[in-house]
């Protein structure tokens, strides 16, 4: 059964690379008009490049999710430029850039930047768009969290804690918006080969004596063998497929859910 979102508008936060970019392209392939949002100025080039290659309409906004006033402006601009917003996906995220095992390898001040993007950024976006979608009586919000938000991964405690909080916030938002017909769900990726995951490896490698260091390929494949029952990477496109499904009428009775796209990772915990 093909998912058809023709004529609907999707806005993707964190769309300049990795999972966010794959989600933006997935919505476009399903027929949606897609607005790319990212703090990186390259997002305008990426959206334009995709528009030229695919022939699909796109828009782009350079904006920092940590600025609540700017998020309200993005909501105003999107409605002005595209006329409506049917689907929102929050895929913006950062890590601390440090190896957090034990947690006191980090300093308390390492937590703030992570929480501001991964949790409070989502709150800013939800405050800007949620009431407008409720007033319209339709729409979906999907938050991209992480399996680390369920298992308390020690690799980067600020990241894990922020994703656990994001899952909880999405459930609160789902309850608030359900009477208006707006659905809110969370997707938890597992082992995905993204710049963020590579930064985790680099932080780990920097703490190791020279004789114990592994290449990125050795480190990641060993981790997959130990933790992922399907014994393979999850691809950004796998997360995109779930995001598009959750936005579609096929998921019309799905809200307040946390769905793992992780190759079975969480079954180990």
> What sign for the dihedral angle of Cα 17, 19, 24, 25?
positive
Looking at 30-155, list the stretches that DSSP marks H as alpha helix, in order from N- to C-terminal side.
Answer: 42-54, 68-82, 111-115, 121-136, 148-151
- Which is the catalytic residue, given 50, 159, 201, 265? 159
**50 catalytic residue (yes or no):** no
Are the C-beta atoms of residues 96 and 148 closer than 8 Å to each other? no
Instruction: Compute the distance between CA of residue 232 and CA of residue 33 in angstroms, rounded to an integer.
Output: 32
- In sequence order, the β-bridge partners of residue 90 are 13, 143
Are the C-beta atoms of residues 47 and 16 closer than 8 Å to each other? no
Instruction: Compute the distance between CA of residue 151 and CA of residue 155 in angstroms, rounded to an integer.
Output: 11
Place of tokens 């393979």: 232
Which residue numbers are catalytic? 159
């Amino acid at each position: 059964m093909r998912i058809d979102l023709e004529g609907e508008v999707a806005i993707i936060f964190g769309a300049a690379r990795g999972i966010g970019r794959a989600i933006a392209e997935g919505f476009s392939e399903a027929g949606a008009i897609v607005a790319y949002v990212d703090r990186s100025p390259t997002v305008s080039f990426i959206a334009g490049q995709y528009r030229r290659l695919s022939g699909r309409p796109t828009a782009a906004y350079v904006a920092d999710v940590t600025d609540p006033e700017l998020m309200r402006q993005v909501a105003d601009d999107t409605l002005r430029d595209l006329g409506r917003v049917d689907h929102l996906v929050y895929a913006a995220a950062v890590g601390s850039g440090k190896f957090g095992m034990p947690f006191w390898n980090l300093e308390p001040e390492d937590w703030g930047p992570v929480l501001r993007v991964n949790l409070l950024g989502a709150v800013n976006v939800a405050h800007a768009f949620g009431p407008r979608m409720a007033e319209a009586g339709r729409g979906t919000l999907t938050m991209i969290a992480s399996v680390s938000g369920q298992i308390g991964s020690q690799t980067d405690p600020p990241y894990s804690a922020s994703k656990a909080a994001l899952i909880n916030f999405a459930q609160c938002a789902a309850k608030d918006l359900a009477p208006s017909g707006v659905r809110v769900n969370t997707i938890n990726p597992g082992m995905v080969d993204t710049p963020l995951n590579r930064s985790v490896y680099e932080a780990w490698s920097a703490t190791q004596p020279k004789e114990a260091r592994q290449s990125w390929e050795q480190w990641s494949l060993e981790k997959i063998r130990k933790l992922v029952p399907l014994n393979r990477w999850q691809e950004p496109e796998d997360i995109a497929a779930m995001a598009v499904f959750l936005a579609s009428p096929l998921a019309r009775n799905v809200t307040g859910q946390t769905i793992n796209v992780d190759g079975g990772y969480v079954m180990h915990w």
